[in-house]
Chains A and B, each alone.
Chain A
Amino acid sequence: MSTGTVDHWNPNLEEQCSGLHAACESLEARRKHGLNQFLEAGFPGRKDEEWRYTPLRSVAEGEYSSKLSVEGQLPGDDELATSSDIRLVLINGRFREDLSDLTALPDTVKVVGLSRSLETSADSVVTDLNRWIPLVDHPFQNIGDALLEDGLVITAEGNVDARIHIVHGQDGSESAGSSHVSGLIRLSGGAQLEVLEEFRSRGKSLANIRWGMEIGSGCEFRRQRIVRPGCDVLYHGTRVELGEKAVFRDLIAGSGARLVRNEIHAILAGPGGHVDLLGGYVSNGDEIVDHHTTIEHAVADCTSREIYRGVLGGDSRGAFTGMIHVHQDAQRTDAEQSNDAILLSRSAEMNTRPRLEIYADDVKCTHGATVGELDDDSIFYLRSRGVSLEEARRMLVRAFTAEVFEELENEALKEQFIEQLQEAMPTAVDLRQ
């Protein structure tokens, strides 16, 4: 992209970066690396294949190049049924212990703000960051590194089954800006952990969030993410490594965000591991939703499943890029990928790019993609039972996305996910005319 567009970002980043407290040399080095990378590369343009369907022009223009104020308020209401008393609140990228509730946290689970652990044990934290979020040339990761300051470090060890609700609040109501969160989640000794990550936003803001995760042997990590209506720009990156018989179950649901880029890089590094990536979304207006996943089957006998489903109305655009990389030794891999979309308007658009790289010979890999309209036979079936055309469409669209949430055990939460998507549904009848 032309250097003109990063004119706002570069001086701002340099200034913000140099203003940060340098707790140790390795931290300093990481920030410098990110800054220099960004100064050099800036934001990718549309010609960059990896960013083809995530136009960053509006982001590059610099509106978000300042950090959001420390003073922000948590937008939106607490209405999600979480069945969790453990609640972590981040506002504008800062972990707010004062607004969080850790009283129910079991001894075996530790939660520390990243900025605090950088104060107390900078060297080892940066070593962990370097291990679990390795440096990559990536615009948001580069910015995240340059402004590395706060986030979360969560560890769960041993016989524990806990559930944590993380709320990311973005308050850009005073002035536009960005926030940057780096997080580490590490499970070991057979731990079971479930996290609900909720994104709430007001005003113009860019949330830049990335996680590095280690799911140790025999551990299971379940994550649900919900992008609440009103979010502006959200970049969310996850890199997760799984040990033997480890399980990662991820679910993302969302509607009403201007631009969402969800990246997941999952590495099955121990035999018997399983990765589940599910997503359901509704988009409207000129919203953009881009799911970008890579699953690496590095060893034998692992399974993975991906199901993404979107309902797109207005001029909105969806994209799915799903790489399944089966290494030479990863025999008996079973990988399943599907991406389906329903377009409710003629100007909505869906781009699907499955990518399979298979180097082992005893492998089962399936992928399927459909882009279509609602099924006429199903509509007639419902109408022939007395259900109105509009209601029939609503029911079918609801059913299409609800299937993604079917396995969610928390019934109340499931209902809320489905409801949020249902409410965001464009009135199909108007759009078809």
Chain B
Amino acid sequence: MSAHENEEKMILDVKDLHASVEGSPILNGMNLSLKPGEVHAIMGPNGSGKSTFANVLAGREDYTVEKGSVRYRDLDLLDLDPEERACEGIFLAFQYPVSIPGISNAYFLRSALNAVRRYKEEPEVDAVDFLQLVRSKMELVGMDEKLLQRSVNDGFSGGEKKRNEILQMAVLDPKLAILDETDSGLDIDALRIVAEGVNALRGGDRSFIVVTHYQRLLDYIVPDHVHVLSEGQIVRSGDKTLAHELEREGYSWLESGHAAEKSQEAS
């Protein structure tokens, strides 16, 4: 394979993706291509399908893929179980991280890391090496070490939960990270810390999909491309200035735009 081909190779190629939940269509022909190392923001009003898209990529079974394809590196992503996707380098930072009483954060993280390592046929990490690794990553996201011994997200504040997501990302070292409304429920200080954590993980071949309603997060995590999602389709794409435009104009133009399109179709 030539260097040129390698450069052009997509890490993610979504084609005409249709997905529904309990019979109602949410994604209606989504197209998106990411090159390695790129950061794409997906914006859009509530109900436009942003979170659905993020969750479909991670393999949540509540959604049914009706049509289309998702190519991830050399793999047919839709063929893989959620855990296989994770092991292949996909990471979803949850909008609402689940709390799991009774499982310590440390045990959870080590189980996850070792599951990924087993998949890659790498030796498992023992408790001592793990602690060393996780400590360095905790520094990155400014997380209190005490949270390691606490149950996963149990009694964590909103900011702690989101930081915990970024910590998991740092430990699992994914190739494609999807941030699902990571800014929701965060004050500006927490937002900055989380964004700094993400920025520290940028670089190299790691790609990001940043799903957000507000432009605010994109001041800190500056995207290469911005896409606007409406009614399950990308209706506009641009560079980072598009986010600022949206910030000024809101999403109301979408409604009128779509209405215009629809009336054209009807005529």
CB <8 Å contact, B98 and A385: no
Which A residues are CB-close (under 8 A) to B60?
A: 380, 384
- The residue from B62, B91, B98, B102 contacting A403, defined by CB atoms under 8 A apart: B102
Bound: A381/B59 CA distance, A: 11
A355-404 residues with Cβ-Cβ distance < 8 A to B are 375-378, 380-389, 391-392, 395-396, 398-403
- Contact, CB under 8 Å: B112 / A386: yes
Contact in complex: B82, A383 (CB < 8 Å): yes
Given that A386-B172, A399-B102, A399-B103 are known contacts, is A381 also in contact with B83, CB under 8 Å in the complex?
Answer: no
- Residues on A with beta carbons closer than 8 Å to the beta carbon of B112: 382, 385-387
User: Would A388 and B115 count as touching, CB distance under 8 A?
Assistant: yes
Q: Mark B73-85, 1 if CB is under 8 A from A, else 0.
A: 0000000011101
Are the C-beta atoms of B59 and A384 separated by less than 8 Å? Answer: yes
Q: Which residues of A contact B83 (CB under 8 A)?
A: 383-389, 392
Inside 8 A of A391's CB, which chain B residues have their CB? 111, 115
- Evaluate whether A383 and B86 lie within 8 angstroms (CB atoms) in the complex, with A391-B111, A391-B115 already known: yes
Distance A387 CA – B86 CA, assembled complex (angstroms): 8
Chain B residue with Cβ nearest A377 = B98
Q: Verify if B130 is at the interface (C-beta below 8 Å from A).
A: no
Which one of A384, A387, A402 contacts B102 once the chains associate, using CB atoms below 8 Å?
Answer: A402
* Number of B residues, CB within 8 Å of A: 30
Inter-chain contact B119/A389, CB cutoff 8 Å: no
Q: Does B220 contact A (CB under 8 A)?
A: no
B221 at the interface (CB under 8 A from A): no
B172 and A395: CB pair below 8 A? no
> Which listed residue, A385, A386, A403, touches B101 by the CB 8 Å rule?
A403
Name the one of B87, B100, B113 contacting A396, with C-beta atoms under 8 angstroms: B100
CA distance A403 to B97 in the complex (A): 20
Report whether B103 and A385 are in contact in the complex, using a CB–CB cutoff of 8 Å: no
Q: Which residue of B61, B62, B81, B86 contacts A385 across the interface (Cβ within 8 Å)?
A: B86
B94 and A399 contacting across the interface, CB-CB below 8 Å: no
Q: Does B116 contact A (CB under 8 A)?
A: yes
Contacts of B151 in A (CB 8 A): 399
Complex Cα gap A378–B103 (Å): 11
Q: A385-B168, A387-B115 are in contact. Are A378 and B82 (CB under 8 A)?
A: no
How long is the Cα–Cα vector from A433 to B98 in the complex, in angstroms? 26
Query: Shortest distance in angstroms between B103's beta carbon and chain A's nearest beta carbon?
Result: 4
Contact A395 B82 (CB under 8 A): no
- What sequence of 0s and 1s flags, for each residue 233-262 of chain B, a beta carbon within 8 Å of any chain A beta carbon? 000000000000000000000000000000
| Closest A residue by C-beta to B60 | A380
Q: B140 an interface residue at 8 Å Cβ cutoff? A: no
User: Which chain A residue has the least Cβ–Cβ distance from B85?
Assistant: A384
Interfacial chain B residues near A395, Cβ < 8 Å: 103, 108, 111
User: What's the nearest-Cβ distance from chain A to residue B136, in Å?
Assistant: 19
Distance in Å: Cβ of A432 to nearest Cβ of chain B: 14
CB B54 to nearest CB in A, in angstroms, measures 11
With an 8 A cutoff between CB atoms, is B34 at the interface?
Answer: no
Q: Flag whether B19 is at the interface (Cβ < 8 A).
A: no
Q: Are B100 and A381 in contact (CB under 8 A)?
A: yes
Q: Pick the residue among A381, A386, A388, A402 that contacts B98 (CB under 8 A).
A: A381
Give A396 to B99 CA distance when docked, in angstroms. Answer: 11
- Encoded as 1 (CB less than 8 Å from any A CB) or 0, chain B from 216 to 239 comes to 000000000000000000000000
Is there an interface contact between B111 and A384, defined as CB atoms closer than 8 Å? Answer: no
A63 to chain B, nearest CB (A): 39
| Among candidates B86, B94, B102, residue contacting A386 with C-beta atoms closer than 8 Å | B86
- Specify which chain A residues have a CB less than 8 angstroms from the CB of B115 in the assembled complex: 385-388, 391
Specify which of B61, B83, B100 lies most central, judged by the most chain A CB atoms within 10 Å of its CB: B83
Given A380-B61, A384-B86, also A389-B81 (CB < 8 A): yes
Residues 125 to 151 of chain B near chain A (Cβ within 8 Å): 151
A385: chain B residues at CB < 8 Å are 83, 86, 108, 112, 115, 168, 172
Chain B nearest CB, measured from A59 CB (Å)? 35
Residue in B60, B102, B111, B113 with the greatest tally of chain A CB atoms within 10 Å: B102
Measured between alpha carbons, how far is A388 from B61 in the docked complex, in Å?
14
Q: Please, which residue of chain B has its CB at the minimum distance from the CB of A418?
A: B102
Interface residues of A in 307-325 (CB under 8 A from B): none
Does B92 belong to the interface (CB within 8 Å)?
yes
Chain B residues near A400 (CB, 8 Å)? 102
The 8 A-B residue pairs with the shortest CB-CB distance in the complex, in nearest-first order = A399-B102, A385-B112, A386-B86, A383-B82, A386-B115, A381-B98, A386-B116, A403-B102
A sample of 14 cross-chain residue pairs with beta-carbon separation below 8 angstroms, ordered by A number, consists of A376-B62, A380-B61, A385-B172, A386-B112, A386-B116, A386-B119, A386-B172, A388-B115, A389-B83, A392-B83, A396-B100, A398-B102, A399-B100, A401-B102
A376-B62, A378-B100, A384-B60 given; name 10 further pairs at CB < 8 Å: A383-B82, A385-B86, A386-B83, A386-B116, A386-B172, A391-B111, A396-B100, A396-B103, A401-B102, A402-B102
